[in-house]
Structure 1
Amino acid sequence: MRLEDYKDLYDSMKLSEDSDQRILVQILKNRNEDNKTKKKGKEYLARRVVKVAVAALVAVVAVSGVAYAATQLWNTNVAKRYGVSKDTETMQKMTDKGFSKIMTDREESKLTVTDNGITVDVVQTLADEHFAYVYFEVEFSKEYEPVVKGADENSDTGVAMPEISFSSKNLADNNLNFCGSVAKVINDHKVAYEYMLMSPSDSELLEDFVVDMNIEDFTVDHEIYDSNSYSIVKGNWNLSWNLSCGTEKSTYEIGKKVTIDGVEMDVEKLVISPLSYQLYVQLKDWDAFNKLFAKDEQPELSEFQYSDGTFDGLGGIGSTNIEHSDSRGTYVIEVKGFDKIMDLDKLTGFTYGGNKISLQ
C-alpha cells in the first residue's frame, strides 16, 4: 500500500481534532522510539510512521466508538441534513438495514454521467417503502455560470436547476411523484441537489423499484436581479438504478376515540419507519370531516414525543388520502416523510389534532 493510499484513507475518515491530536501523539511517541533503534534508514522510518499512523487511527476509532463504514461512506452534507452527523451508530444502522445506499463507495456501483461538460453524480439515497430521498451533485465546467453572484448557498434563486423527471417501470404509468431543491452550493461550479420521491399509493410501494432519472437541461433563475430565466445548456443526463429500500418499521395498534372540532373519529393505527409514517384514522361522520377538510382545518399529526420528555415538531412533505370501503367505513390515511431521521427506540407518543396519544 502506497503512502498516498494511507493518506487518502486517513483523510476520508474526517475525525475530530481531538482524535487527530491523539493520533499525532502516538505517532511522535513511536517515532522517538524508532530513532533509538539501529534501523534509522529513511525508508524504514517512513514505513514505520505510516504503519503507526494507521494503527493509531484504528485504535482511536475503536476507543471513540466511531463506525468506520458509516463515517467514511455517508456524505457529510447528507448526514448533517438528516440530523445524524454526530451519530455514527444511526448512520451505520440505516446502512445495515437497507435504508441508506451510498453510490460512491465502490467503483462498480458509481452512478455518474457526463454530457456537454456537465457531470452528474448520484451520491446517496435514503428510502423506505413510501419515500425516497435522492442526493446528487452536479459539476459544471468553467464555461458555464451555474451560480449567479449573490445567490444563497441553500436557495434555488440564482442557482442552476435541472429540468428533471423520475420514472419507474414498476409503475403502470411509469411516473413517480417528486419534488426537490438545491441542497447546497458547494462552490462556484459545483452544486448539490436533493429530490424526494413518493409512492403513488399505499398499494404501490417503492421496494424493489428501478428508478430512472432524466435531466434534459439546466436553467438559471435571475430573480435576484430580474425575472428572466435562461437555459445554460441542454443535454442528456440519464441514470438508472435499483433503489435500496429499508422495510423495517414499527406498527402501533392504537384504537383511541377522539373528538376534534365536534367531529368524532377513531385513531386506529400508526405505521412508522425512521423516514416516514402512515396514520390511519376511521371517520364516524364523513360529511362533518369533509367540511373541516374543505376549510383546510383538518386535524393532523403535529408532533412526536420522546422518552426524555421532549417533543419534535414535524417538517417534511406528505399527503392525506381518503379511502372509502363498505366493509371498513371511511378512512383518512395521513402519509408523511420526515425531514430528518427518526429514532424509533425513543418514541413514546404523538399529538393528533391537539390530542396526546401514548404509544406505551
Structure 2
Amino acid sequence: MMVPIHDGEDKKGTRSETLLHTYLNVLCADDLCTEPAGADQLMNSRAAPDIEQATSRFQTTYTTLRRSSCLTMDAVTFVVLVLLTGPAVQSADVPCRTFEEIYPTGKELCEKMWDDAFVYETNLSVAFTMWFFEAENPNNKVAERLGWSSPVDDCHLEYFHKEAPGPEPDNFTECHPWKDYSCCHQDTVSSVQKIKEAYGKEWHWDRCGPLSSACERFFVQEACLYECEPNAGFYRKFPDHVYNDSDPNHNKWQMEGMPIRADYCDAWFRACRYDRFCAADSGSYSSCAREYAKVDNTGDNGGNAGLIAGVVVACVIVAVLIGTLGYFIFRERKGQPVFNKLEAE
C-alpha cells in the first residue's frame, strides 16, 4: 500500500514532508503500516507540528520496528527449521542416496532391495509382472509354463492375506487388476497411504524424502503383487513342507526367487533414478527398516525431549517479540511513540 502525498497551502518543509512520506511508504511496504489512518495521524499537524521533528522521530521508531520485525522473523524461522529438521536429525545415522547411486541397474533394484525375493528375468515368457491391465491375469500363464498349477485355490502367504483367493467389492480400486481373484482384502489395500503404513513407520518408502509420483507408483504396484497376487504364494521361502514353527528364522510371509520381467525392473529404475532411498546394506529394504526401527525406538524413549523443549522456548520468544512489536506500532499510531528524538541540552 502506498501513502498518498497531501497537497497543502504551506510549502515550507516540502523536502521534509517528502522524506517522511518516503519512510511511511517503506514502512507500509513492509506491512508494518496496515491502515491509511496510521500514516495520516503521523502527518497531522496536531500530532506532529514540527515535520523535521516528526521525521527524526519516525526514523528512530522505524529502525526499532525493523529490528523487532527482523528478530520476530528470525524466531519464526528458527521454529520452522526446528520442526522441519527434527525428523531429519532423528534419522541422520541412516544414509540416503539416489537410486542410481544405490542400484546400478534395474537388476540390482529388483533383487537387492527385496533381499532375493525377486529375480531379474530376461526371458519374458517365464517372468511375472507386478502390474497388468488385461482382463485375465497374465501371471497365470507364466505359472503354468513354470510347472505350477494355476489358478491356485490357496494363497500360501500368511500375513494380511486371505486363506483362499476370491473377488473383492467394486470399491477395490488401488490394486484393481486383482479385483476378481485376489489374495488381499479391500481394507488392506484401500489407499496408497494404507498400503504404505501397513507394516509400520520403519517400512515407509519415503523416509529419505517424498518420492516422485512415478517412482512411488512402482512401490504401490509391488505391494499389490505381494498382497494380492495368488501366484506369489508359490515363492514362499519356507513352504509348508519346510516350515518349522519352532525355528525362529522361519516364517510364512517371506518370499524368495520369484522371477520378475526384466523390462519391468528397468522401468522401475528409470522412474526412480533421481529419487532418494535408504542406502543401508546396499539398499536392502529390510535392513533399512531395522535401522529406522532403532532410530524410532530411540526417539520414543526420550530422544525428542530436546526438540520439544527447543520448540517451546522458540514459541515463547516469538510471542514476546510479536507482542512488543504490536505495542510499538500501537503507541506510534496513538501519537505517543516509545522512542522520541533526544534534544540537546
TM-score of the superposed pair, with normalisation by structure 1: 0.18
Which structure's residues are more often helix, by fraction? 2
Larger RCO, structures 1/2 (Cα 8 Å, 6+ apart): 2
Taking structure 2 as the reference length, what is the TM-score of the superposition? 0.19
User: Whose radius of gyration is greater, 1 or 2?
Assistant: 2
